[in-house]
Structure 1
Amino acid sequence: MSATTEYVSDDGEITLLVTNTVIDDWQFLKQDKKEKAEAFGVLIGGQNHDASQFWIKACTTPLAKDKSTRTSFYLKDTRHQKFVDKHFKESNGTSGYLGTWHSHPEPIPIPSHIDLKDWHSCCARNPDRKLIFVIVGISHFCMYHRTGKYFERICKESL
């Protein structure tokens, strides 16, 4: 794995390793100007057996067939799945779909009702693993995961 940054959950129970390339993508795509539309993609990585450690190796970014506005997005391009499949194959099954990320035009992002509904759907489609969800704000990004029926912020980090 290329250079990474380590983040530890607020309660100290979860460690997240994120490649600097992913952080660079989020930094570049954050909505720090009014004309920037919402950015988004899928997270590719893995987790250990008890889901106490996650690693995000790569992410997709908006592609030609995707749609977005300042406050919404539609992940439509089939190349997102092809990117996940490629990483899965090249890693012999150790890296795959880990969740989604998107941006918000606010300094410290808070998930919307639509975000939470979408995340529940993602979890229902992937019952075999814990997923991670990231919202990239203007000054911080926040990572979330589901605990029971609710989503909990794992950490809030500066960009």
Structure 2
Amino acid sequence: MVELIRGFCQRGIDAPESGGVLLGYRRGAHLHVTKATTPTIHDRCSRTSFERAAEGHQAAALEHWSSSSGTGDYLGEWHTHPQVHPAPSDTDLVEWKKILAGPNPQKMVFLVVGTQTIWAGVGSAGVVRQVQLE
């Protein structure tokens, strides 16, 4: 899954931001990300922004849930930044806090993929903190 999303890093000067959702399983306090969606034709992207459309990503999440007999879940979001060592933007943090404040708040994973490294964070109770990828 990590290699899949690294394939979208913005190495070219005109490469747009890309992104998708992270799918997997909740096991107590642990989140196991096993799948990621990739950009669809419905998403809006530019060199410095990515807006995920529900179409395509939502269908993949529903298929994951259905094929896992209801145990698979939406665990978070990923997107790229045109930086060697990325960090979340203020816009990212605002959007992630909206996700965390949803109707059924749960711990979530957020990834920002740079050209050489990946920033990883876990959010809960409206706070996102950086973590190490395993």
TM over 0.5: yes
Q: Match for residue 8 of structure 2?
A: 29
Paired with 1:46 and 1:117, the residues of 2 have a C-alpha distance of 25
CA contact (8 A) 1:46 1:95 kept: yes
Task: Give runs of aligned pairs for residues 131-142 of structure 1, distance below 5 A.
Answer: 131-142=108-119
Q: 1-side partners of 2:82 and 2:51: how far apart? A: 17
- One-letter amino acid matched to 1:47: R
After TM superposition, list the pairs within 5 Å mapping 1:110-121 onto structure 2.
110-121=87-98
| Worse-superposed segment, 101-110 or 139-148 | 139-148
Which of 6, 14, 24 lines up with 1:45 in the alignment?
Answer: 24
8 Å contact from structure 1 (residues 63, 77) kept in 2: no
Question: Is contact 1:109-1:140 (8 Å) kept?
Answer: yes
Q: Secondary structure at the match of 2:86?
A: coil
State the secondary structure of the residue aligned to 1:65.
Answer: coil
Is 1:91 matched up with 2:68?
A: yes
Q: In structure 2, the residue corresponding to 1:146 is in which secondary structure? A: strand
CA contact (8 A) 2:5 2:38 kept: no
- How far has the Cα of 1:99 moved from its partner? 0.6
1:57 alignment partner in structure 2:
34
2:81 is matched with which residue: 104, 121, 126?
A: 104
Distance in structure 2 (CA, Å) of the matches to 1:111 and 1:69: 17
Q: Distance in 2 between matches of 1:154 and 1:99?
A: 14
Q: How does 1:115-154 map to 2 (within 5 A)?
A: 115-125=92-102, 127-154=104-131
- Stretches of 4+ aligned residues off by more than 4 angstroms: none
TM-score by length of 1: 0.78
Identity percentage of aligned residues: 30
Q: Tell me the distance in 2 between the aligned counterparts of 1:82 and 1:132.
A: 19
Give 5+ residue unaligned stretches, structure 2: none
Q: Distance in 2 between matches of 1:37 and 1:77?
A: 19
Question: Counterpart in 2 of 1:73?
Answer: 50
TM-score, normalised via structure 2 length? 0.92
Contact 2:105–2:125 (CA under 8 A) maintained in structure 1: no
Determine if contact 1:140/1:156 at 8 Å carries over to the other structure: no
